[in-house]
Amino acid sequence: MVRTGIIGVGKMGISHLAILGAHPDVSVVGVCDSSKMVTDAIGKYSPFPCYADYKKMLDEAKPDAVVVSVPTKYHAPMVRELLEKNIHVFSEKPFCLTPEEGSPLVDLARKNKLVNQVGYHNKFVGTFREVKRILESNLLGEIYHFTGEAYGPVVVKPKQDTWRSSAGEGGGCLMDYASHVIDLINYLLAPVSSVKASLLKSIHSKEVEDAVYALLELSNKVSGVLSVNWSDETHRKMSTSVTIMGKKGKIISDANELKVFFKDEAPAEYSKGWNVKYVTDLTDPVHFYLRGEEYSAQMDHFIAAVQGKIPNHLNNFESAWHTDQAIKLIKNAQH
Amino acid sequence: MERILFGDNQFFAVNHISDEKSRAQSIRFKDDSAILQTLDISRDNGVQTFMCTTHDRIANICDAIRANPEKYKGYKIFPCMPYAHKYANAVTELGIAGTLKQYVPGNFIGSMFKGGVAFLSKDYLSIMELLIDAEMKMFKGIDTPVIFLQNVITDLLLGLGMKDILIAFHTYVAKKYQAEAGFITMNMPMLLDVLENGGVKNPIICSSINKVGFRMSGGKELYEKTLRTRQFRAIAMQVLAGGAISPKEALEYVCNLPNVESILFGASSRANIQETVRLINQFDQSRADMILN
């Protein structure tokens, strides 16, 4: 059993905790949150020991691994402390407020040989995994353009008062929402290396942007468009998609449906012309389901890596650092 | 419960395989009259129960049902609460405490925060009861013999090990609304264990049950074994697995499983509604004939 603790049980944390609670290889040894109301409820009804102070939790519960799901501004100091105590870390996204904050943590995790993962769950979505597989077949020919998009109804009216509306704490559409799409592009194609232009627009928010539009160039010189808006209430929930243009084909994929066109040769299970696959055909079953297979799958991945069963390649700090770097480039490229 | 229950995903752009279809559904069901017309088609085909989320727009449907008591005589609604995206979006915007302040009626939460009222277990269950009452308001005067907890909440509580709250939901719904509690889940075998251990006998559990094993956590074999060997009232949903298999093949599988009391499905067009009902009746009939012979 992996002795696991969690710091922060807000919207993502509570879901991680439920997934850990149901995991056959995990023993939840400590739950920490600054809200007394939340820890009292968990303490009263759940079998998990609760703490208000995470340092106390680390000392008393002695976890092997900790999930960090607190506002982004706390990630760097907490993750450092955990790594110094030789604890494996799963951190929520984005990794840090700046790439400068994250860089020494990438090194420290490597030096101390600790499993490190960040919660970019799209890499565990069946359709996007299949996009990666198709791209690796090279049958789309030379890739020359991409579009990465996400739309959803997070901020649909002026009033709000959480850390997500504060730029200094890691709020705003770029860090909180667009980071998912940037990370997906980094993974599927190559890391963003320069930003030709960007527009960060406030729609309802006063302090932060609600939409991000940017022209990106990747390290392999492929260029494309990023278009993300979290004030779009025509979507019921976050809807992320990628379009990838190659000289011999094209992919359009979201989390549910993958459409791919092959001009000439197609890989096995596909044919020339349009092909459509659904996430129902591309999803591996999980032991416990909450909100989407990808959330359980990413936690399974982390726990299996801690147990030494699989390598720690997917979604590690280093890959999340590339996303932080792209976020910085987008901020700096505003016109 | 009736053999066939009509669902509401199509009305609220919930489509598990295509964002494009979601948008088309949003446009198609923009007006409440389109929802009512589709419900009429399902009623014409003999489906007398509508199982729906507590979405704001359902309040308008309830108004229409109340306004036409003769037309809707014998019609039942199975409410499923809460409409999760309302709360999920609110939590992103307002935090957990802020969301409770916004949605729990009256001054209860405000006074808890301000007065530092002791956080006794009773208070949490009272919050749950107030939330249930708030969600049930729109159904006043309508026959709601089964009231469901949505899977996102059922499964969250299941993972958190909060079995007392699941059981309190069951108890409160019976006491206040003289209704049976139902639980929607993506983790049916695990939930059944917890409910049984908590003393809930023969619970109503609605879960994904389909030929391809989609969203059947723990595996298709375990689900089939649970249906064969355990006592509970099963409702099969997502029987078409998001459209991955043909309706005929999908429904034949579900109709031939033991112990599935009801089948939940949603559809937009008259042809699809007719065909689904026809297929279920046909497979049920051939199974009955087989047992008799």
Cβ-Cβ contacts under 8 Å for A186 (sequence gap 6 or more): A192, A319, A322, A323, A326
| Amino acid, single-letter form, for residue A108 | L
Is B242 an 8 Å CB contact of chain A?
yes
CA B199/CA B184 separation, integer angstroms: 18
Q: In this complex, which of A11, A36, A46 lies closest to B160 when CB atoms are compared?
A: A46
- Hey, is the C-beta of B289 within 8 angstroms of any chain A C-beta? no
Lowest mean pLDDT: which of A124-138, A160-174, B105-119, B261-275? B105-119
Mean pLDDT of chain A: 95
Q: Which of B85, B218, B244 lies at the smallest CB-CB distance from A236? A: B85
What is the CATH number assigned to the segment(s) A2-121?
Answer: 3.40.50.720
Given this model, what pLDDT does residue B119 score?
A: 47
CATH classification (class only), A124-283+316-332: alpha beta
A206 touches chain B (CB under 8 A): no
- Please report, for residues A136, A189, A245, A276, B64, the alpha-carbon distance to residue A266 in angstroms, rounded to integers and kept in the order given: 12, 19, 15, 13, 53
> Is A257's Cβ below 8 Å from some Cβ in B?
yes
**Are B161 and A47 a contacting pair, CB within 8 Å?**
yes
- The sign one gets for the Cα dihedral A50, A53, A54, A58 is negative
- Which domains, from first to last, does chain B contain? 4-84+144-292 (3.20.20.100)
Cα separation, A155 vs B94, in Å, equals 10
The pLDDT score that the predictor gives to residue B109 is 54
- Band (A107; pLDDT cuts 50, 70, 90): very high
Residue A162: count of CB within 10 angstroms of its CB: 17
Name, in order, each residue with C-beta under 8 angstroms of B246's C-beta and a sequence gap of 6 or more.
none
Minimum distance, in Å, between the CA of residue B237 and any CA atom of chain A? 15
**Nearest residue in chain B measured CA to CA from A234:** B23
Residue of chain A nearest B153, judged by CA positions: A290
Tell me how far apart the alpha carbons of residues A23 and A15 are, in angstroms, rounded to a whole number.
12
Confidence of residue A252 (pLDDT cuts 50, 70, 90): very high
Using CA atoms, how far apart are residues A168 and A332, in angstroms rounded to an integer?
Answer: 16
Q: What pLDDT is stored for residue B112 in this prediction?
A: 52
Alpha helices (H) along chain A: 11-22, 36-45, 54-61, 75-84, 99-111, 126-136, 173, 179-188, 279-282, 293-306, 317-332
- Answer whether A287 touches B (CB < 8 Å): yes
Instruction: Answer whether residue A311 shows pLDDT above 70.
Output: yes
Higher pLDDT residue, A6 or B20? Answer: A6
Return the H-helix or E-strand segment holding B262. strand B260-265
Residue B110's pLDDT is 53
> 3-class DSSP state for residue A305?
helix
What is the ipTM for the molecules in this complex? 0.93
- Residue B127's pLDDT is 84
> Where exactly does CATH 3.30.360.10 map onto chain A?
124-283+316-332
What tens-digit pLDDT sequence spans chain B (293 residues)? 999 999 998 898 777 777 788 888 888 888 999 999 999 999 999 999 999 999 989 999 999 999 999 999 999 999 999 987 777 767 766 776 777 777 776 655 555 554 444 444 557 888 889 889 989 999 999 999 999 999 999 999 999 999 999 999 999 999 999 999 999 999 999 999 999 999 999 999 999 999 999 999 999 999 999 999 999 999 999 998 866 689 999 999 999 999 999 999 999 999 999 999 999 999 999 988 888 77
Please write the tens of the pLDDT for every residue from A212-249: 999 999 999 999 999 999 999 998 889 999 999 999 99
Averaged pLDDT for residues A252-278: 95
Query: Which residue intervals of chain A bear CATH 3.40.50.720?
Result: 2-121
Put simply, whether B191 touches A (Cβ < 8 Å) is no
Choose among B92, B124, B155: nearest Cβ to A41: B124
A149 touches chain B (CB under 8 A): no
Q: Do A15 and B156 touch (CB under 8 A)?
A: yes
Scanning every residue of chain A, which has its alpha carbon at the shortest distance from the alpha carbon of B14?
A: A236
B window 138-177, beta carbon within 8 A of A: 152, 155-156, 158-162, 164-165
Residue B77 has a pLDDT of 98
